[in-house]
Amino acid sequence: MSKPSEKNHNNHLDMLQDYKNYLVKYIQELEKLDNQSEFAKKWNENTIKERKEEVTVIDKIIKNLIRF
């Protein structure tokens, strides 16, 4: 039987993974817009860069949490 702290740990891992998946889909949508419009490409350039950095940080957090 799992402890309450283990359930919270797993719940937080799931939430982080869900958020990471959301960000990946969001980045893909922004990149699709970039291919359609030069204006959108300039507009979304910074956002895409920031979201990719966020995904990298989330990956590191998830990997560190899984170790425990």
What long-range pairs does 15-23 form, CB within 8 A, spacing at least 24? 16/58, 16/61, 16/62, 16/65, 17/62, 19/58, 20/55, 20/58, 20/59, 20/62, 23/51, 23/54, 23/55, 23/58
Report pLDDT digits (tens) over 12-55.
Answer: 889 999 999 999 999 999 999 988 888 888 888 999 999 999 99
Answer whether residue 1 shows pLDDT above 70: no
Annotated domain spans of the chain: 4-67
Q: With a threshold of 0.95, does the pTM exceed it?
A: no
pLDDT at 5: 63
